[in-house]
Amino acid sequence: MADFLNSCFVCGKENDPQTTKKNQQLNLPVCDDCSGTDEEKKAVNELTEGMADGFVCGCI
């Protein structure tokens, strides 16, 4: 990806920052072609998978 803030996090296609949509879970830009697709869902799962690995809640 050339510019992470202006590129779709799913396909990497460059977008206009004024008109691009944001994925609500990750707050990352997503193009119209990828928005709401299975590919977007897969990319979200891949990025969030294991985010909490190695962390243990100290409240127990």
Token pair for 42: 């897969």
Listed residue (27, 2, 22, 25) closest to 12, CA to CA: 2
Q: How does the average pLDDT of the chain come out, rounded?
A: 82
Q: Is the pTM of this model over 0.85?
A: no
What percentage of the chain reaches a pLDDT higher than 90?
A: 42
Kindly report, residue by residue over 7-35, the tens digit of the pLDDT: 999 999 998 878 788 999 888 999 999 99
